[in-house]
Amino acid sequence: MRGVLVGLSGGLDSVALLHLLSTQPRIRGAGLRALHVHHGLQPAADDWAAHCRAVCEALDVPLQVVRVDVARDTGSGLEAAARSARRAAFADALREGEVLALAHHRDDQAETFLLRALRASGPDGLAAMRPWQRFGSGWLWRPLLAVPRAGLLAHARAHGLPWIEDPSNDDTAHDRNFLRHRVLPLLRERWPAADAALARSAALAAEAGDLLADEDASALDAARTPDPYTLSVTALAALPRARRARVLRRWVDALGLPPLPAQGVARIECDLLAAAADAGAMFEWQGCAVRRWRDLLHAGALPEPLPSTWRVAWDGRTPLALPGGGELRLESADGFETPLFAHARGGGERIQLPGRAHSHALKHVLQDLGVPPWRRGRLPLLSDADGRVQAAGDLVTSAPFDTWLRARGARLVWRDAAPRAIPPA
């Protein structure tokens, strides 16, 4: 049995879940604890944290309170930003192999199904919330998905459990609250079992998605390259359009990037896959991008080029940190006899390649190597005191520098900032 961490907001649902789990000897024995995320968005936020402490003390369950800063300028709305901050806090707190238990119930599942349907989701989206899924370094468990909220309310009242009401849950400006307070009550008037029917449809969509998943995985594997952040355009083009859409979503999800928005796949299909190989076509969302360069699609966070004014002397004795992340490192050598200068590309550089009598334009050398334009903007150059380029990252070395490295059995290593945008959840 794995340890269980309960996400405790202090509301009815999470308090009822914590009480239910606290009555299970096996779960207590494996390690039961709770986590309250303090968003600081409501005037009573401190009172909510105090309430959660009181609940946990009464149930003899350890509590961790984590304060988070909710970004207000993401463009996705305050509710989504709070959810993202909360999930990040859960992921950070979750121990290796531990289970995060959340109190989503059948009514929540019905709401999620309707929201996804209104956003024109396919089977994977309509599957809504899964009972079990990988999360951070452990698992996410939703044990109450088959339980209606009315059942949790009855349980809480029967056991005298205290809970708090979040006033933001009554704000119908939020889509989910509008469905909860305006749409679903109307549906229940006509179809009393509407919640159960919608939740069942979500389960059927999950089954359909699972049936497609194995073939999706095989198709993705066929389109992969040695770099997990790139896919072969030729291999993608050989797939049926519907399969291609599922492969693209699966690829982006596997990289830990934000899910592609509804128009994402269509834009990639029309603007990138149909573009000329050298057109530099790109689709952006939430600080990430999928780009077309030659026969490859590249996915990752939007990289910032090295500052044009960046120029530092480097003796090679310790790794050199690069602006925006990443480093240059000299391996198997004690350092340079004379420091070299690390700097960004300015344009017009030339380099004498090993075995060549004349210098070549660095731009053409990088083009011949197939280095995408945006990666060239992150490429640190090493030049000597006279301004002669000796290396471009670890991709290109000059004839003299290559000789120097070989004589010492050394090598230059460039590690760029990882293209991942957010931790996988």
Every domain of the chain and the residues it spans = 4-197, 224-301, 311-416
- To 10 degrees, the CA torsion angle through 28, 6, 155, 143? -90
Amino acid symbol at 260: L
Q: 224-301, what's its fold?
A: Chorismate Mutase Domain, subunit A (1.20.59)
Q: 4-197, what's its fold?
A: Rossmann fold (3.40.50)
Q: Residue 367: which of 280, 274, 273 has the closest Cα?
A: 280
CA distance 399 to 389: 10
CA distance 199 to 108: 9
CA distance 361 to 343: 17
CA distance 32 to 4: 5
Strands 396-397 and 326-331: unpaired
CA distance 300 to 277: 19
Sole residue written with tokens 């991008």:
289
Residues of the binding site: 9-14
Helices (H), 60-136: 78-93, 106-118, 123-126
Q: Residue 168: which of 71, 16, 43 has the closest Cα?
A: 43
Compute and round to an integer the Cα radius of gyration of the chain.
27
Determine the pLDDT at residue 422: 34
Report pLDDT digits (tens) over 279-314: 778 999 988 999 999 999 999 988 889 999 999 999
Residues of the binding site for ATP: 9-14
Determine the pLDDT at residue 226: 93
Task: Kindly state the helix (H) or strand (E) to which residue 383 belongs, with its residue range.
Answer: strand 381-383
Determine the pLDDT at residue 370: 86
Query: Residue ranges of the chain with pLDDT lower than 50?
Result: 420-425
Strands 282-285 and 311-314: unpaired
Determine the pLDDT at residue 423: 34
Report the predicted TM-score, pTM, of the whole model to 2 decimal places. Answer: 0.68
Q: Residue 422: which of 304, 258, 230 has the closest Cα?
A: 258
